[in-house]
Homo-oligomer: A and B are copies of this chain.
Amino acid sequence: MIIDCHGHYTTAPAAHNAWRETFGAGDTPPAYPVITDDEIRETIEGNQLRLMAERGIDLTIFSPRASAMAHHRDDAVTSTAWARACNDLIARVVGLHPGKFAGVCQLPQAVGVPMSGLIAELRRCVCDLGFVGLNLNPDPSGGHWTSPPLTDPVWYPLYEAMVELDVPAMVHVSAVTNPSFHATGSHYLNADTTAFMQLVQADLFKEFPGLRLIIPHGGGAVPYHWGRFRGLADMLGRPPLAESVMGNVYFDTCVYHQPGIDLLFQVIDTANILFGSEMVGAVRGRDPLTGAYFDDTRRYVDALDLGESDRYAVYEGNARRVYPRLPA
């Protein structure tokens, strides 16, 4: 069985996206539009389900479109309305295609909002909707980085709830308003690198031994600079990375060429790698050099010729360990 840990509903119905455009911080969102089951099926069957079948992916861990979370646009009220609508839509996708998707929620984040709203929506999604994890945005400002690091105690109540519910978070930013950054070209990768370094600097996992975080996009710049991070940990008087961070942190395989995947598996323990493609996502075209889709990451992983136990770990076993609420 092959589990893709990183899929977003980038093909959500137009009415859903149009509704989002009707409100922002300070507004009262209007009634949510009617979206039929057939409309949902249509957006999934020709896209994610088709590609999953073509690529041999059995199950996708599926969350709302990351770039559309856009927490910078919202206050607590509108972010809650938008998160609930997005998460309810994911729940419908999961319900309409039994066995093909597992839900991951977006949280009603916004700059400076209290954790209580995030935790309430997480509980609703896990307990009522059967979700298996969450996406956590370390920069709800949209590229201005005004929130405290992920290791700051302000986040602890959320981590307590995650540990209690036994769900992991993928650390995933959203759209940017800062013109220095391109969302998928630099902001996403920067956020991955930033989050990892925050974790190197602090003792978060001593506080929360059961906390599990997935850093997507192959860990940003981290595996390529693994020697730099090992050396920095040493210079900063921190424990070795294996000890302080890698007991609780996982990288996905959203790296869109063979040499990158080769390096990821060369430097990161297989136990810390989850198969993922971010399909249909950031990069949708075909590589003119190979004719294959850039984001068909299974091709790269298969080309590694892993042994059976490593192959099982990356494609299924690690995901089951990190997301224990996945259906058996």
Contacts and interface: CB of A to CB of B under 8 A. Distances in A.
A115 to B, nearest CB: 18
A180 B231 contact: no
Contact of A228 (B178, B230, B294): B294
Interface stretch (A14-22, A72-80, A141-149): A141-149
A97 interface: no
Interface of A: 138-139, 143-145, 147-149, 178-182, 184-186, 189-190, 193-194, 196-198, 200-201, 217-218, 220-221, 223-232, 234-235, 255-257, 259-260, 262-263, 266-267, 282-285, 287-288, 294-295
A218 to B, nearest CB: 7
Contacts of A295: 231
B200 A231 contact: no
Contacts of A257: 225-228, 230, 267
Contacts of A149: 179-180
Provide the main secondary structure of the chain A interface.
helix
A228 B256 contact: yes
A194 B190 contact: yes
Query: Max chain B CB contacts within 10 Å: which of A139, A179, A228?
Result: A228
Given A256-B228, A267-B257, A145 B147 contact: no
A255 B164 CA distance: 40
A232 B185 contact: yes
A217 B257 CA distance: 20
A186 B178 contact: no
A224 B220 CA distance: 9
A266 B263 CA distance: 11
A145 B181 contact: yes
A53 to B, nearest CB: 22
Nearest to A220: B221
Query: Max chain B CB contacts within 10 Å: which of A256, A257, A294?
Result: A257
A282 B228 contact: yes
A180 B193 CA distance: 11
Contacts of A197: 181-182, 185-186
Contact of A255 (B217, B227, B285): B227
A145 B190 CA distance: 13
Nearest to A256: B227
Given A178-B145, A225-B255, A184 B232 contact: yes
Contact of A230 (B180, B189, B294): B294
A232 B189 CA distance: 13
B263 A224 contact: yes
Given A145-B181, A234-B285, 20 more contacts: A138-B180, A144-B145, A181-B197, A182-B198, A182-B200, A185-B232, A186-B190, A186-B194, A225-B260, A228-B283, A230-B257, A231-B284, A231-B285, A231-B287, A231-B294, A231-B295, A232-B283, A234-B288, A235-B284, A235-B285
Nearest to A176: B145
Nearest to A278: B228
Contacts of A227: 255-257, 260, 283, 287, 294
